[in-house]
């Protein structure tokens, strides 16, 4: 080897590559290959044979099956994407609100922070599924279990509905707020990391800005909208993306895809379903990304 003839730049490039090498190997064999295989599977009929599997190419048959033949997939897909889109503003609002609250100076702030981040630790799919499974086995039906679950977290929302109704807000808005309060535990549970990110962002806003605003006579409300909000706005995009990605792990679609693969052993159909899901999510991500990044303010 003519190591000595290499320039420093080349040498550094080689060293850099060696740092990235473990990841690169893993990426090629454990990400890129499965990804391509998954495309291949989605277009074939896969049958598990001893010591491997065999593939028969059947074109877009699996996609047709998922979209037109399967009774539930369309419904579950639209429902779960709709829930995702419905939840994102709630989670964002709640996490920004909590972060602003936790950024104030008050007695017991450390304790409050510790409690607010507890959901990061306890948000576990296993526990949630054990909870619903427990309720289902107790009542014998998933519908009753769902109602019971809502009752357990139970608030009487009637008063709130009455109050909001007389304020004259549009009906969908009232529905949204009431839905948010009913599912407050769910929302809190899925906004731990988002609060963390917003809080870190809030603390990186230079305090001098607030001082200037205060001297010029801005109220707290004004300085929130003119300083805090623009300064944390890049993180709103990050949090939207994080929220969407986080919803993958525990959505009904994921469940369906998993069951199609491992209960009905229809690996090809499962791959096709997961690609449809990925596609829809990608479209949602791109649309939201484009819409939000126009409004985002970058300080530097």
Partner 1 sequence: MDIGKSMKSNEMFVYKLNKTRNKAVDWLWKLVLYMLVSGISFVILYPLFRRVSMAFKDPSDIYNPTIYMVPVHFTLDNLKHAMEVMNYFPILGNTLVFVAAMTLLQAGSCALAGYGFARYVFPGSNLLFMLVVLTILIPVNTLMVPMYLHFRNFDVLNILSLFTGKDGVNLLNTYWPFVITSATANGLKSGLYIYIFRQFFKGLPKEIEEAALIDGAGFYKTFLRIMMPNAIPAIMTVMLFAFVWQYNDTFYSSLFMSGGDLISIKIASLPADVNQFLPGILGLGSNAEMRADPNHVAMIVDTGILLAIAPLILMYLFVQRYFVESVERTGVVG
Among residue numbers 240 through 299, which ones bind partner 1 (CB under 8 A)? 241, 245, 248-249, 254, 257-258, 261-262, 267, 270-271, 274-275, 277-278, 281-282, 285
For residue 62 the two structure tokens come to: 């699996």
Pairing status of strand 52-57 against strand 44-49: antiparallel
Nearest approach, Cβ of residue 48 and partner 1 (Å): 8
Cα separation, 123 vs 8, in Å, equals 48
Per rule CB under 8 A, is residue 207 in the interface with partner 1? Answer: no
Q: How far apart are CA 237 and CA 225, in angstroms?
A: 17
Residue ranges in 45-74 that form contacts with partner 1 under rule CB under 8 A: 46, 48, 51-53
| 12 makes contact with partner 1 (CB under 8 A) | yes
Q: Is 82 one of the binding residues for partner 1 (CB under 8 A)?
A: no
Residue bearing tokens 């040498």 = 11
- The pair of structure tokens assigned to 166 is 């007389």
What's the closest the beta carbon of residue 294 comes to partner 1, in angstroms? 20
- Whether the CB-CB separation of 79 and 68 falls below 8 Å is answered with no
Token digits of residue 228: 């805090």
| Cβ nearer to partner 1, comparing 164 with 186 | 186
Q: Which residue in the set 6, 14, 58, 163 belongs to the binding site for partner 1 (CB under 8 A)?
A: 14
φ/ψ (deg, to 5) at 237: -60, -45
- Residue 6 interacting with partner 1 (CB under 8 A): no
Residue 275 CA: distances (Å) to CA of 28, 37, 55, 151:
19, 12, 18, 37
Binders in 224-243 for partner 1, by CB under 8 A: 235, 241
Q: Does 77 bind partner 1 (CB under 8 A)?
A: no
CB of 295 to partner 1, least distance (A): 18
Considering beta carbons, is residue 2 or 249 the nearer one to partner 1?
Answer: 249
DSSP-derived letter for residue 12 is H
Which tokens hold the place of 98? 């909590």
Which CB atom, from 39 or from 212, has the smaller least distance to partner 1? Answer: 39
Cβ atoms 198, 232 nearer than 8 A: yes
Q: Which of residues 100-159 bind partner 1 (CB under 8 A)?
A: 101-102, 104, 106, 108, 110, 112-127, 129-131, 133-139
Comparison of 7 and 171: residue with beta carbon closer to partner 1: 7
């Amino acid at each position: 080897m003519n190591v000595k003839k290499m320039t420093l730049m080349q040498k550094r490039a080689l060293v850099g590559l060696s740092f990235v090498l473990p990841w690169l190997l893993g990426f090629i064999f454990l990400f890129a290959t499965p990804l391509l295989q998954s495309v291949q599977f989605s277009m074939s009929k896969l049958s598990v044979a001893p010591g491997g599997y065999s593939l028969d190419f059947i074109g877009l048959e699996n996609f047709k099956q998922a979209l037109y033949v399967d009774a539930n997939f369309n419904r579950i897909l639209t429902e779960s994407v709709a829930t995702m889109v419905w939840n994102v503003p709630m989670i964002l609002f709640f996490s920004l609100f909590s972060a602003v609250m936790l950024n104030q100076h008050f007695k017991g702030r450390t304790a409050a922070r510790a409690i607010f981040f507890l959901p990061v630790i306890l948000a576990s799919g296993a526990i949630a599924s054990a909870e619903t499974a427990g309720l289902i086995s107790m009542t014998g039906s998933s519908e009753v279990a769902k109602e019971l679950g809502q009752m357990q977290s139970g608030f009487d929302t009637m008063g709130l509905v009455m109050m909001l109704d007389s304020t004259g807000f549009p009906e969908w808005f009232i529905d949204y707020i009431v839905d948010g309060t009913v599912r407050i535990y769910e929302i809190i549970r899925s906004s731990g990391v988002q609060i963390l990110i917003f809080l870190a962002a809030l603390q990186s806003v230079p305090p001098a800005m607030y001082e200037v605003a205060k001297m010029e006579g801005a109220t707290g409300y004004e300085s929130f909208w003119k300083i805090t909000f623009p300064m944390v706005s890049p993180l709103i995009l990050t949090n939207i993306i994080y929220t969407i990605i986080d919803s993958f792990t525990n959505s009904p679609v994921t469940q369906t895809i998993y069951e199609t693969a491992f209960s009905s052993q229809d690996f090809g159909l499962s791959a096709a379903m997961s690609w449809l899901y990925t596609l829809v999510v990608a479209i949602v991500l791109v649309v939201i990304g484009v819409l939000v990044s126009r409004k985002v303010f970058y300080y530097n």
